[in-house]
């Protein structure tokens, strides 16, 4: 075998094999590393199964290579060893049984065959021997290699048992189908749908961890459609399924906002790996079902969906145990502002409108523009081309105004402290009125973003509201 032909060419496998021989233990590399090798994908994570104690064996390997980067997880019977850039996890071969109300298995020591039986999918049950008598031999009891060639997701055992035992595997099946762009075979899809309610025993944190991997894939719509088809999406994120459907009054109908949202998500994934920008794309129209109305003159309207949508983000993030920090506020901001550049692109772009957009978006203006461009899903090529050209004009105007006026994240040159000191005020309504007036005057182009002009404007405003006598 050449180095490329041999998946076990890495020096670490020879070291592990030497320890296996010295300890007289059967040892195998299994799972994702083996699968990814046959898919010609790189993998830095290696799972080692030992017939015996995985922790004891890991300690022997750490001693042999002189590594102090060994982390032991006694509660799980596993150990993780850092070897250069590679993470190696060791676990004892085991067989598992489950009770009805828990994902936590009853674990017993087992053989490599037992361990392969408990694996989630055939493509993840592939193992390679690290033993002297058959080093490098592939152990494939369920036809995983054929399934890789056929690009299908299949369970080693009865899928109803597989998913009932550990319901998270239902979402993992969809995640792998999305990442690898494989098909889930019909009996497995049917079993997911049949066992969908079992997902309730899985923590939302584990579910969202898998969902984020779907969202980080090349084409998330594959997985989101599968979640919908199997009726898991309704249980995990009902706000998304509420977007589904088309309603018609007379001959006027609106687009299916669920399918539109998936197009926007796929579009944004072509230009960014930012998970939170992808979440903003997923949720940008989330309030449309609540704001939908039919106007005989205007047709279907969704007035204020961007404002209500931004208000919904907090509750959605809270329910999904997503971070309620600057990441959430970033998503809220993009949802709130996602129509603003569209409006600018459809009308004459005024300097003041561009200044206000720069001020409100701040450093997120470039991400906002990416979202707006992804939001163009018209099937009419001429319409799409026109919108993109208009957005390019908006981008040019944004750049010009930013270079000239330095508006992005600007703070008005006259602070509240200066106002209070000048007029002998305590924090009050009058201070806020003057500060906002200065900010608006700069954004509207009445004065420049300059201390002297702002100070003169402050004096003028103070006279108007009666803080000082008019000259």
Question: Do 136 and 199 fall within a single domain?
Answer: no
The residue assigned the tokens 């109300």 is 101
Question: Do 139 and 156 fall within a single domain?
Answer: no
Q: Would 333 be classed as within a structural domain? A: no
CATH number at residue 230: 1.10.110.30
- Position 1 scores a pLDDT of 37
SS3 195: coil
SS3 324: coil
Q: Would 120 be classed as within a structural domain? A: yes
Q: Pick out the chain residues at pLDDT < 50.
A: 1-4, 471
| CA-atom Rg of the chain in angstroms | 30
Rounded-to-integer distance, Cα 215 and Cα 205, Å: 15
CATH number at residue 35: 3.30.460.10
Q: Would 298 be classed as within a structural domain? A: no
Q: Would 255 be classed as within a structural domain? A: no
Rounded-to-integer distance, Cα 212 and Cα 207, Å: 9
Question: Do 142 and 155 fall within a single domain?
Answer: no
Q: What is the pLDDT of residues 24-71, one digit of tens each?
A: 999 999 999 999 999 988 888 899 999 999 899 999 999 988 877 889
Final residue before a domain boundary, out of 93, 119, 148: 148
Question: Do 17 and 110 fall within a single domain?
Answer: yes
Are 413 and 450 a contacting pair, CB within 8 Å?
yes
CA dihedral 198, 203, 207, 210 (to 10 degrees): -120
Bridge partners, residue 107, by sequence: 96
Backbone angles phi, psi at 413, to 5 degrees: -65, -15
Nearest to 332 by CA among 369, 283, 299: 283
Q: Would 22 be classed as within a structural domain? A: yes
Helices 451-464 and 429-443, interaxial angle, to 10°?
A: 130
* Polymer length of the chain: 471
Are 121 and 185 a contacting pair, CB within 8 Å?
no
Q: Would 389 be classed as within a structural domain? A: no
Question: Do 48 and 102 fall within a single domain?
Answer: yes
Question: Do 159 and 228 fall within a single domain?
Answer: yes
Q: Would 406 be classed as within a structural domain? A: no
Final residue before a domain boundary, out of 148, 174, 209: 148
DSSP string, 64-83: HHT---EEEEGGGTEEEEEE
Rounded-to-integer distance, Cα 284 and Cα 305, Å: 9
Question: Do 195 and 165 fall within a single domain?
Answer: yes
Q: Would 337 be classed as within a structural domain? A: no
By DSSP bridging, strand 293-295 and strand 299-301 are antiparallel
Question: Do 52 and 137 fall within a single domain?
Answer: yes
In this structure, what DSSP letter does residue 122 have?
A: G
- What total number of domains does the chain contain? 3
Question: Do 78 and 189 fall within a single domain?
Answer: no
* Domain membership of residue 231 as a residue range: 151-236
Rounded-to-integer distance, Cα 422 and Cα 416, Å: 10
Final residue before a domain boundary, out of 220, 236, 252: 236
Question: Do 141 and 175 fall within a single domain?
Answer: no
Question: Do 177 and 67 fall within a single domain?
Answer: no
- Position 105 scores a pLDDT of 59
Question: Do 120 and 173 fall within a single domain?
Answer: no
- Return contacts of 212-217, CB within 8 angstroms, 24+ apart: 212/275, 213/175, 213/179, 214/174, 214/175, 214/178, 214/179, 215/265, 215/275, 215/278, 215/279, 215/282, 216/273, 216/275, 216/278, 217/175, 217/178, 217/179, 217/269
- Position 103 scores a pLDDT of 55
């Amino acid at each position: 075998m050449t180095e490329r032909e041999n998946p076990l060419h890495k020096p670490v496998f020879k070291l592990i094999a030497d320890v296996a021989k010295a300890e007289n233990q059967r040892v195998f590399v299994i799972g994702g590393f083996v699968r990814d090798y046959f898919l010609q994908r790189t993998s830095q994570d290696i799972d080692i199964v030992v017939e015996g104690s995985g922790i004891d064996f890991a300690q022997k390997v750490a001693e042999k290579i002189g590594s102090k980067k060994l982390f032991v997880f006694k509660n799980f019977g596993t150990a993780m060893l850092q070897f250069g850039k590679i993470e190696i996890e060791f676990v004892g071969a085991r067989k598992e049984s489950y009770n009805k109300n828990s994902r936590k298995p009853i674990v017993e020591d087992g053989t490599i065959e037992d361990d392969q039986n408990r694996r989630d999918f055939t493509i993840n049950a592939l193992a390679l021997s690290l033993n002297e008598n058959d080093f490098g031999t592939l152990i494939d009891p369920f036809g995983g290699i054929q399934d890789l060639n056929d690009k299908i997701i299949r369970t080693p055992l009865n899928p109803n048992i597989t998913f009932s035992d550990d319901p998270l595997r239902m979402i993992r099946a969809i995640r792998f189908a999305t990442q690898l762009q494989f098909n889930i075979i019909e009996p497995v899809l049917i079993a997911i749908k049949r066992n969908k309610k079992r997902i309730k025993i899985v923590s939302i944190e584990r579910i969202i961890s898998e969902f984020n991997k779907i969202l980080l894939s090349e084409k998330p719509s594959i997985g989101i459609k599968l979640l919908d088809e199997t009726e898991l999406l309704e249980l995990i994120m009902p706000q998304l399924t509420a977007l589904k459907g088309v309603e018609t009054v007379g001959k006027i109908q609106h687009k299916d906002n669920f399918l539109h949202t998936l197009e926007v998500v796929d579009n944004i994934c072509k230009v960014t790996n930012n998970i939170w920008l992808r979440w903003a794309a997923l949720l940008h129209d989330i309030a449309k079902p609540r704001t939908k109305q039919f106007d005989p003159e205007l047709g279907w309207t969704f007035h204020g969906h961007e404002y209500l949508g931004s208000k919904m983000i907090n509750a959605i993030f809270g329910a999904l145990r997503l971070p309620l920090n600057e990441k959430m506020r970033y998503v809220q901001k993009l949802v709130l502002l996602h129509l603003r550049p569209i409006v600018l692109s459809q009308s004459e772009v005024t300097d003041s409108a561009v200044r206000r957009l720069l001020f409100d978006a701040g450093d997120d203006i470039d991400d906002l523009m990416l979202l707006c461009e992804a939001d163009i899903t018209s099937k009419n090529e001429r319409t799409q081309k026109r919108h993109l050209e208009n957005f390019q004009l908006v981008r040019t105007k944004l750049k010009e105004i930013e270079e000239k006026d330095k508006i992005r994240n600007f703070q008005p040159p006259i602070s509240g402290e200066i106002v209070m000191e000048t007029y002998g005020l305590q924090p009050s309504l009058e201070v806020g009125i003057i500060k906002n007036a200065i900010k608006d005057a700069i954004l509207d182009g009445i004065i420049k973003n300059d201390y002297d002009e702002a100070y003169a404007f402050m004096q003028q405003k103070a006279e108007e509201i009666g803080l000082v006598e008019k000259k």
